[in-house]
Amino acid sequence: MYNDRIEIINPGALYGTNRIDKLGTATTMEARNTTIVRILEEKGSVIENRHSGIPTMIREMKNYGLPEPEFYEERDSFKVIFRNTNVVQATQSATQMATQSATQKNKYEEIKQKVLKYCEEPKTSEEIMKYTGIKTKSVLSRKIIQPLTLSGKLDYTNKNSVNAKNQKYITKKQ
């Protein structure tokens, strides 16, 4: 961590046919161990929405008026640099991010309460998305479904296959 940038270095180069110019594009990236990826995807709560991280980094840097992240493949390592060309601007951005984060957290807490009432009768994730206005399954899962199921407030109707296509969610009776 430096005053003008953050550098993150990951041991190991990009795998297989993956190339820096493909990062953040719709191009399917090769996984080093497809078996582990498949198992984690089937688990549902462990990994989801692969290949969304780099577009998110680019979008968030742009949202705060900062340059896009820089990616470098070096000998046996992969590096990303997040530059802060204006430390004052970054401080203001951090304050804005904290404020937005608190606002988002409150928003999701309100949505969770609505979902608990809505799911007194079993509902699918699509029904919940339509009801809440959440546009992506990954946000619904990460911000609403997972926290509610982990806290014991929401349950799966098909407990044998929590990632089943026809999975519904129901509020647990307290």
DSSP letter (8 states) at residue 21: G
73 and 17: one domain? yes
How many percent of the chain have pLDDT more than 70? 78
Tell me, what's the pLDDT at 157? 92
Beta bridge partners of 81: 7, 70
H or E stretch at 108:
helix 87-118
What's the total number of domains in the chain?
2
- Domain assignment present for residue 72? The answer is yes
pLDDT digits (tens, 9 = 90+) for 44-81: 655 655 666 778 888 888 888 888 888 888 778 888 88
- Tell me the backbone φ, ψ of residue 51, rounded to 5 degrees: 70, 20
Query: Structure tokens of 74?
Result: 């070096």
9 and 55: one domain? yes
Lowest mean pLDDT among 40-54, 78-92, 106-120: 40-54
Judged against a pLDDT cut of 90, whether residue 121 lies above it is answered with yes
Q: Point out the domain boundary residue: 36, 54, 83.
A: 83
Greater pLDDT, 138 or 27: 138
- Domain assignment present for residue 99? The answer is no
10 and 56: one domain? yes
pLDDT band at 169 (very low <50, low <70, confident <90, very high): very high
pLDDT band at 161 (very low <50, low <70, confident <90, very high): confident
Of 39, 35, 41, 33, nearest to 12 by C-alpha is 33
- Rounded Cα distance between 151 and 80, Å, is 35
Q: How many angstroms from the chain centroid is the CA of residue 23?
A: 17
User: How large is the average pLDDT for residues 23-39?
Assistant: 68
Strand blocks (E) in 33-171? 70-74, 77-83, 123-124, 154-156, 168-171
Judged against a pLDDT cut of 60, whether residue 156 lies above it is answered with yes
Tell me, what's the pLDDT at 51? 65
- Rounded Cα distance between 122 and 39, Å, is 27
For residue 138, give its domain range. 104-171
- Rounded Cα distance between 151 and 174, Å, is 12
